[in-house]
């Protein structure tokens, strides 16, 4: 039997990775992107590739994806700006330190390297963090990439396998096995909706909503930080799908710049900078990094994470001929390669190496507030 033909809608990290994996598996693939590769959440994101333990399923998908990223690291082009800086999950006090130890045990039990740093070791690892912090968990396998280049990297792979990639092609409607684009219905055996936060505009009923986030980028300060540094409470902010929240999350870029995050709010696709919230985000970051306010900020932007009510993405069949790879919230760059492999295995009737059930787009889920 020949491999099914596929139209992938959206060329963010997720759509691009799916196109690469599907084309690599022999599927004739066409990618339709309304703007340009990485134009959505991908281009607005930090590019932190991070193992996350919000749930067993999240851990499984993120840690598998990190392995898939590592397998391809040798072929990254220079513009990926790949940095194996690892993550420091910072504990403010002894209560958080207890959480750090539990987190370390969880990672260790699942074969993921992680190291507990006490107060002194943290000071040595990141001297610019404020004094008096209790310690941290270092996850050395986490890395950082430049997200738009990651989308291009996957698309280049897809093209090498024969895929066609069309930018500037807005899909107006999607149905099983067909999409309406520039007034014409285009057909394939399968359509994959990888339109990020726009996925539910194209397929009403998909439980995906935009979750806005701000980032600030500074001028170049090489050596200011060595790791991506994140407060332990970050996961709580990421997983609670209510109201506004901020968390300390700062990343050193290969360029010497710092990316400062993070904020979350549910305000639809409102593209305006929310100055009070951005201010809160920066004050939170400065409370951990007292030297931060002295640095020059160059630019602030917002992006829209595609969020689902249970903090897990939708990967699989929605109805025959119409599949989904969307809803990755703050982990879509990280989990792009795992998502792509999962989707490809399911679509080709192969048994994936991890349980796909938690990601089934038709799973029971709480409603969005
Ligand atoms: C501030 C911020 C920081 C983040 N930091 C990280 C991080 O450090 N690590 C991490 O893993 N993730 C991070 N994320 C999350 C990550 O950006 C997303 O999960 C990921 O980019 C989702 O990828 P995607 O391909 O599903 O969506 P997108 O990147 O949004 O791609 C969807 C694409 O579909 C296109 N499209 C939409 N509608 C149509 C249509 N009708 N026709 C054709 N094309 C269409 C869009 O133009 C877009 O290019 C962050 C997000 C934000 C906002």
Task: Tell me the per-residue pLDDT of 165-202, one tens digit each, with 9 for 90 and over.
Answer: 999 999 999 999 999 999 999 999 999 999 999 999 99
Alpha carbon distance 36, 193 (integer Å): 16
pLDDT at 293: 97
> Does residue 136 share a domain with residue 16?
no
Nearest residue (by CA) to ligand 1, atom 15, is 330
Q: What is the structure's pLDDT at 31?
A: 98
Mutational pocket test of ligand 1: of 8, 10, 20, the residue with most ligand atoms within 8 Å of the beta carbon: 10
- CATH number for the domain spanning 214: value is 3.30.9.10
Percent of the chain with pLDDT over 90: 95
Q: Is the pLDDT of residue 120 over 70?
A: yes
Q: Which atom of ligand 1 is nearest to the CA of 328?
A: 19
Average pLDDT over residues 151-163: 98
Residue in 147, 145, 88 with CA at minimum distance from that of residue 118: 88
Average pLDDT, the chain: 96
The neighbour count for residue 301, using CB atoms within 10 Å, is: 13
CA 277 – CA 254 distance, rounded (Å): 27
For the cut 90, the answer to whether the pLDDT of residue 1 exceeds it is: no
Q: How far apart are CA 355 and CA 286, in angstroms?
A: 40
Q: Which atom of ligand 1 is nearest to the CA of 40?
A: 30
> Ligand 1: which residues within 6 Å by Cβ?
9-15, 32-35, 39-42, 44-48, 170-171, 194-198, 202, 213, 215, 261, 303, 305-306, 326, 328-334
Whether 91 and 58 map to the same domain: the answer is no
Asked if pLDDT for residue 368 goes beyond 70, the answer is no
How close is the Cα of 308 to the center of ligand 1, in Å?
14
**Mean pLDDT of the region 308-324:** 97
Does the residue 1 lie in any domain?
Answer: no
Whole-number percent of the chain with pLDDT over 70 = 99
pTM summary value: 0.97
191 and 328 together in one domain: yes
Q: Residue 189 sits in a domain of what CATH number?
A: 3.50.50.60
| Closest atom, ligand 1, to C-alpha of 330 | 15
Domain-located, residue 74: no
Q: How far is the CA of 13 from the centre of ligand 1 (A)?
A: 7
Q: In the numeric block, which tokens belong to residue 265? A: 């709010």
Q: Are residues 222 and 348 in the same domain?
A: no
Alpha carbon of 331 to ligand 1 centroid (Å): 10
**Domain, as residue range, for 218:** 84-142+209-307
pLDDT band at 242 (very low <50, low <70, confident <90, very high): confident
Same domain for 261 and 316, yes or no, is no
Count CA within 13 A, CB hemisphere, residue 212.
17
Among protein residues, the one with the nearest Cα to ligand 1's atom 52 is: 45
How far apart CA 261 and CA 311 sit, in angstroms, is 19
Indicate whether 174 and 278 sit together in one domain.
no
Same domain for 320 and 283, yes or no, is no
Whether residue 230 has pLDDT greater than 80: yes
Closest CA to 152 of 80, 253, 72, 45: 80
Task: Name the closest-CA residue to atom 20, ligand 1.
Answer: 332
Cα–ligand 1 centroid distance for 40 (angstroms): 5
Q: Are residues 232 and 293 in the same domain?
A: yes
Is 369 domain-assigned?
Answer: no
Task: Tell whether 191 and 329 lie within a shared domain.
Answer: yes
Which atom of ligand 1 is found nearest the CA of 263?
Answer: 1
Structural domain contains residue 75? no
Mutate to test the pocket of ligand 1, among 195, 315, 342 (most ligand atoms within 8 A of CB): 195
pLDDT tens figures, 271-282? 999 999 999 999
Query: Based on the domain organization, do 293 and 152 belong to the same domain?
Result: no
The pLDDT assigned to 369 comes to 60
Instruction: Report how far residue 224's alpha carbon sits from residue 78's, in angstroms, rounded to the nearest whole number.
Output: 22
By the 8 A CB rule, do 369 and 242 touch? yes
Residue nearest to atom 25 of ligand 1 (CA): 12
Question: Does the residue 349 lie in any domain?
Answer: yes
User: In the 3-class helix/strand/coil scheme, how is the chain assigned residue by residue?
Assistant: CCCCCEEEECCCHHHHHHHHHHHHCCCCEEEECCCCCCCCHHHHCCCEECCCCCCHHHHHHHHHHHHHHHHHHHHCCHHHCCECCCEEEEECCHHHHHHHHHHHHHHHHCCCCCEEEEHHHHHHHCCCCCCCCCEEEEECCCEECCHHHHHHHHHHHHHHCCCEEECCCCEEEEECCEEEECCEEEECCEEEECCHHHHHHHCCCCCCEEEEEEEEEECCCCCCCCCEEEECCHHHHHHCCCCCEEEEEEEECCCCCEEEEEEEECECECCCCCHHHHHHHHHHHHHHCCCHHHCCEEEEEEEEEEECCCCCCEEEEEECCEEEEECCHHHCCCCHHHHHHHHHHHHCCCCCCCCCHHHCCCCCCCCCC
Residues 92 and 220 in one domain: yes
Does residue 152 sit in the same domain as residue 300?
A: no
How many domains does one find in the chain? 2
Q: At residue 237, does pLDDT exceed 80?
A: no
Look at residue 302 in the predicted model and tell me its pLDDT.
Answer: 98
């Amino acid at each position: 039997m020949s491999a099914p033909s596929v139209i992938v809608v959206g060329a963010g990290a997720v759509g691009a990775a799916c196109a690469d994996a599907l084309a690599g598996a022999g599927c004739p693939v066409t990618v339709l992107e309304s703007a340009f590769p990485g134009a959505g959440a991908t281009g607005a994101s930090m590019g932190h590739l991070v193992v996350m333990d919000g749930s067993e399923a999240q851990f499984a998908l993120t840690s598998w994806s990190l392995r898939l990223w590592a397998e391809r690291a040798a072929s990254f082009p220079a513009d990926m700006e790949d940095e194996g800086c690892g993550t420091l999950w910072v504990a403010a006090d002894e209560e958080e330190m207890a959480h750090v130890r539990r987190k370390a045990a969880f990672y260790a039990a699942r074969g993921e390297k992680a190291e507990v740093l006490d107060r002194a070791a943290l000071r040595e690892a990141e001297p610019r963090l404020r004094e008096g912090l209790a310690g941290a968990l270092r996850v050395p396998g986490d890395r950082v990439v430049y997200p738009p280049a990651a989308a291009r990297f996957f698309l280049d792979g897809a093209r090498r396998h024969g895929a066609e990639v069309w930018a500037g092609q807005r899909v107006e409607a999607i149905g099983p096995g067909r999409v309406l684009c520039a007034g014409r219905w285009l057909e394939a055996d399968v359509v994959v909706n990888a339109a990020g936060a726009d996925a539910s505009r194209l397929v009403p009923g998909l439980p995906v909503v935009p979750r806005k986030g701000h980032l600030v980028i500074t001028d170049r300060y090489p050596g200011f930080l060595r790791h991506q540094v994140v407060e332990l409470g970050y996961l709580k902010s990421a997983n609670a799908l209510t109201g506004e929240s901020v968390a300390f999350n700062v990343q050193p870029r290969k360029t010497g710049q710092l990316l400062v995050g993070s904020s979350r709010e549910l305000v639809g696709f409102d593209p305006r900078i929310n100055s009070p919230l951005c201010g809160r985000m920066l004050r939170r970051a400065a409370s951990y990094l007292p030297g931060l306010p002295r640095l020059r900020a160059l630019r602030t932007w917002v992006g829209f994470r595609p969020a689902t009510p249970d903090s897990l993405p939708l990967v699989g069949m929605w109805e025959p001929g119409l599949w989904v790879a969307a809803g990755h919230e703050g982990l879509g760059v990280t989990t792009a390669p795992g998502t792509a492999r999962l989707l490809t295995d399911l679509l080709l009737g192969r048994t994936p190496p991890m349980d796909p059930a938690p990601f089934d787009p038709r799973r029971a889920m709480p409603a969005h507030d």
